[in-house]
Amino acid sequence: MASTQAEVTVRMGGQDHVIRAEGEQAQLDACLKEFTDRLETFKSQSPGIAERRAVILAVLAIADDLLAARREQQVREEKLRRWAESLRARIESTLDTDPA
């Protein structure tokens, strides 16, 4: 499968920065929108905040959300593993006691 190149332009500090990445354009656009939304949130909550500080806060907020999602995924996977093990044990128990 051939890789695709995606590109977005980010404007920071009065300068445009062209970012190219492997992947789908729609995904990169969604990532940029998430980042931009977070950045604007911090700027609007703290008028006069330095852009560099707002960028750092936005990145940290996104990273925090990512870590929380990973923890939630691990919890779901562990619950699913326990459920599957319980189901396996019940099936084996039923098969062991089946007179057929």
CB atoms within 10 A of CB 38: 19
- Please count the structural domains in the chain: 1
Residue 38 sits in which domain range?
A: 5-97
- For residue 58, the tally of other CB atoms under 10 A from its CB is 20
Model pTM score: 0.73
Tokens at residue 33, please? 């929108």
Q: What backbone torsions phi and psi does residue 9 show, to the nearest 5 degrees?
A: -115, 125
pLDDT digits (tens, 9 = 90+) for 11-64: 877 889 998 989 899 999 999 999 999 999 999 999 999 999 999 999 999 999
